[in-house]
Amino acid sequence: MCSIGEEDFDDEGGAYTMIADEEPRTNLVSNVLEANNCYKCGSSGAIYKLTFRQAECSDCFLLYTRHKFRAALGSAKILPSGAKVMLLFDGSAESVVLLDMLHYAQSQDDFKRLRCSVIVLYVDELALIFDEAIELGGTETFLKTMQLFLASYKEFQSYIVPFLKNKDVARSICHFSEIDVKYLKRDVTGEKKFVECINQIQNLTSRQDFVKHQRSKLIARAAKHFNCQFIFKADISTTLASDLLTAICLGRGITAALDVNLIDNRLSDGIKLVRPLRNLSKLEIDLYLKARSLKSLQCHYYGDNKGTNGSLQNLTRSFIDNLQTSFSSTVSTVYRTGDKIAAEHGLSSNVENMEINTCSFCCSILNSKYNSTTLLAVEISRLVSAKTNASAKNCLNFNSHMHFNVLGEAEGNQQISRLCHACCNIYRDVRKKCLLLQK
């Protein structure tokens, strides 16, 4: 992958091939110049300066970022006129920007208007994130703050759904205007039992991976309930770079390309997940909020409070963020590498018979399990490292026994053969096995 010759390395390794930034770019103030003129229109005032771009005023900067949003959708030509779109909102800066951009795109004249109907959905994971020590009043305050914020975009209908099992999604969706009279007074017994099952997964890495894919299944059910064929998710380049490395580390390399692509069609019922902000950076998001005088909400993500070393996902995210501070091309390099990954033939299109050809939990393709020498090597290492004598005796017949374990049939349940390698790893850490085998 790297074309650097051996002559570029000496006793200090690759120090001469990676040049750190002269000054780490961590301060937003340094990118806002008060005493300058816009190089495009010549206006004065607050001027926004991005790397590799001339200084420009707020109007020109907003025009630039909104063009990147429209160009991402226009280049793919995936959004037909009159399409129904469900926007995932979590209160983060990225989701606030995406909501504001969609609102602006629909307020333009007929020629520039984005012709689609938008529904906003918030997935409430607060019961999963917070423990019982957190008072319910804090949760209510956060939801009411979000309710007031979304009410300012009155053109969009906003809904909330708790994080729960797939079969309970449709009847649990609630309009944000009914939070006080309906949502906060709902029966949470089923939610608590589901959260208890998730907390029984042995390690945080598996729990976060399970929550991520369970969330995808939940939003697919919600989109089907609203008859939406498109789901907009506010993933930016920094998030996608971290997700790409995490997917590879977790053994999901075969679908890593879909984790960073503009379109991810692994969801059920032909629903497409779209990432229209994938070409925006964290700095551009922050400057957009400043230019529009917007503020993000205090959003929470499962597992973030466990620290950097709490899980593989947290460690990867911290690694990317720290490296980006000194080497500003880190995210771009990782993210663009993901664009070049060639997905296996048929992965980018919907599989007709998903029950057989794809993982029953995350919808990754299963073809690689049957002829993967890498998975055979992993299984050999796992069994040889086992401490029990019984496991050591089972290693005598490697050729047949390895294939038996890779396909999942050694677990005592034939349904596990419908899980991919990464989901099999979660399955081994789950006490209640039906969590991954449910439809």
Q: What is the pLDDT along the chain (439 residues), one digit of tens a residue?
A: 444 443 443 444 444 345 555 555 555 555 776 667 787 787 776 678 787 778 888 888 899 999 999 998 888 888 888 899 999 999 999 999 999 999 999 888 777 788 889 999 999 888 887 754 444 556 788 888 899 999 999 889 999 998 887 677 888 899 998 888 788 888 788 888 888 888 888 889 999 999 999 999 999 999 999 999 999 999 999 999 999 999 999 988 878 888 888 999 888 888 999 999 999 999 899 999 998 999 998 787 888 878 888 899 999 999 998 988 888 888 888 888 877 775 444 444 444 444 447 888 888 777 555 566 677 777 667 666 765 555 555 555 555 555 555 555 545 455 677 788 888 888 888 877 666 666 5
Query: Collapsing DSSP states into helix, strand and coil, what is residue 378?
Result: helix
> Is residue 135 situated within a structural domain?
yes
Residue 109, class by beta-carbon neighbours within 10 Å (0-12 exposed, 13-18 middle, 19+ buried)? Answer: exposed
CATH number of 169's domain = 3.40.50.620
Indicate the residue type of 85: V
Same domain, 421 and 278: no
Distance CA 56, CA 54 (A): 6
Query: 157 Cβ partners below 8 Å, 6+ apart?
Result: 119, 120, 175
Q: Please tell me whether residues 95 and 213 are part of one structural domain.
A: yes
**Residue 48 maps to a domain:** no
Same domain, 295 and 391: no
Cα–Cα distance list, 197 to 15, 190, 191, 201 (Å): 47, 11, 10, 7
CA distance 305 to 94: 20
Question: Rounded to two decimals, what is the model's pTM?
Answer: 0.82
Is residue 408, in this structure, part of any structural domain at all?
yes
Strands 157-162, 174-175: pairing kind: antiparallel
Helices assigned H by DSSP within 234-367: 237-249, 256-260, 282-292, 312-326, 330-340, 354-357
Same domain, yes or no: 314 and 214 = yes
- What pLDDT is stored for residue 242 in this prediction? 92
Would you state the pLDDT for residue 244?
92
Question: How far are the Cα atoms of 68, 157, 231 from residue 152, in angstroms, in the given order?
Answer: 25, 11, 21
Q: Are residues 380 and 335 in the same domain?
A: no
Residue 33 is assigned to a structural domain of this protein = no
* 272, 255 contact by CB (below 8 A): no
User: CB neighbours of 138 closer than 8 A, spacing ≥ 6?
Assistant: 130
One domain for residues 315 and 425: no
Q: What would the two tokens of residue 119 be?
A: 């529904």
The predicted structure's pLDDT at residue 372: 66
pLDDT for res 137 = 56
Do 256 and 391 fall into the same domain? no
Say what the pLDDT of residue 9 is: 37
Number of domains in the chain: 2
Considering 340, 361, 381, which residue would you say is the last residue of a domain?
340
Same domain (yes/no): 283, 410: no
Phi, psi of 116 (to 5 degrees): -155, 155
| 39 is a domain residue | no
Of 400, 358, 155, nearest in space to 252 by CA: 358
φ, ψ dihedrals at 272, nearest 5°: -110, 130
Distance CA 78, CA 280 (A): 19
**Does residue 178 lie in a domain region?**
yes
364 near 351, Cβ under 8 Å? no
Residue 21 placed within a domain: no
Answer yes or no: do 316 and 384 share one domain: no
* Judgement on whether residues 166 and 287 belong to the same structural domain of the protein: yes
Tell me the HSE value of 313 on the side-chain side, using a 13 A CA sphere.
Answer: 20
Looking at the domain assignment, is residue 346 inside a domain?
no
Q: Which domain holds residue 233?
A: 57-340
Are 428 and 436 spatial neighbours (Cβ–Cβ below 8 Å)? no
What's CA 356's distance to the chain center, in Å? 26
d(CA 15, CA 340): 26
* Residues 200 and 265 reside in one and the same domain: yes
Q: 275 and 424: one domain? A: no
Tokens of 55: 């200084």
